[in-house]
Structure 1
Amino acid sequence: MTSSPRTPVTATISHPAHTLLSRAHSPDTATRIFTDKVKNKPLLLQPTASSDQRALRRHIRLHKKEYFLRKRKPQPLSAKEKRQLGVFKLKKEEIKYDIYKRLNELWRGYMLEVLGYMRDGEVVESRGRPKQVSAQSHGALLASADFHGAEMEVVRCADVGKVGIKGIVVRDTKFTFVVVTAKDEVKTLPKKDTVFRYEILLSGKDGLEGRKLVFELHGNQIELRPADRANRKFKWKAMDYL
């Protein structure tokens, strides 16, 4: 009695990858690819400590960057950016003389403190008050003052058409005063070769009620921005234009 040779029975492979490969290849090819590419493929693992160090370095780097961005001072706007944003443009409803009257009152109080006639909002008595205000004693203070809110009048100017213009200063630039007149008009007045006049009304005891201090300011002496004038040493300049 002879026995026929027994054919080897391969175990059925139940794996999602093998199932997908069987759809695209023959059974032998699918089995071979599965064995070489999937079943016997080595799995390389990196040490856990190395990945932790990398994550720690990344966390420290991001924390430093966030701290730097939070503490960094914002960069000032350039002149071009200011023009594009319209920072210095006055809206039509803002060009009202009555709006800036209150600003002028605040400015007069500020100037009385600069000249020594007021201190902490109260009028200084006669003993602590300057007897006379002159260019020699108060010239440096007046030249370094801020004129936003001052009511200026042009008394002399190289451009004769500017003489007589009077208004409240709404912008004090390096070379110009921008004022709003009583007719609700905006005028730009050059500082160069121009003489401005402004008045400060005094109030208080000792016969000061109703008296005025009248000043004439030479624009050539203050051709600086207010922030730059505050810390700058005052120097006399030639006045050949008079």
Structure 2
Amino acid sequence: GVAYLLDREAHRGPTCQDCHMAEGNHFVRTPWGFLGVRLPEEDEEWMGYRATVLMGLGVLDAEGQPTPLLDVVVAGDMARLDAESFNAERKRITDVCAKCHSPSYVDANIANADKMLKEADKLFAEAITIIKDLRKDGIITVKEGEGVYPQLLSFYEVDTKVEQILYEMFMDHRMKTFMGAFHINPDYTTWYGYAKMKKDLVEIKELDHHMRKAFEAEKAS
């Protein structure tokens, strides 16, 4: 921005590298990972939302059992799947935060960001369930080899507007909601993240209503 152009040598705040590559660490890992999921989860309500999200990702099947895709997630280190690794990453990143901020400030904002991710998952799980029911009821065609849950990691191939909205909700708006929260950026968290997720859910519900009406009308004709 303008401040950078005025004095490129000034160091007015932390860079991405200061926090995510501290002490030369090139792994760029975070406790929640790219997908914003973890296991286990002590919060039972949140675990209900999480299970739905994991089914949407194809990591769990409709019965809640692991699928071969879980091995891909593990191999790619895309999520922390045990408490020990999650807590280790959280300590590492909060130790970096504590270089500039007080412990109480760090703890409060980390807790708030966790709550924001839970609220995002609540909306997202509801949206996934709506799409799942459309697929289960035959309103959206389930392709060979797929289950009733939407295939969030293969959304370049979806054929319906409602599934495209779900994909954007996941890859854009949910990401901005929880990543903005962990970066203490309320603008991205709310306007570009959470508010957009609410909008997505409204659109998905409207499309669900219209698709069901059209489906019933076609059956009756």
The structure with more helix, counted as a fraction of residues: 2
TM-score past 0.5 threshold: no
- 1 or 2 for the larger relative contact order (CA 8 Å, sep ≥6)? 2
TM bucket normalised to smaller: under 0.3
Instruction: Kindly indicate which of the two structures has a greater share of residues assigned to strand.
Output: 1
| TM-score, length basis structure 1 | 0.22
Q: TM-score, normalised by structure 2?
A: 0.24
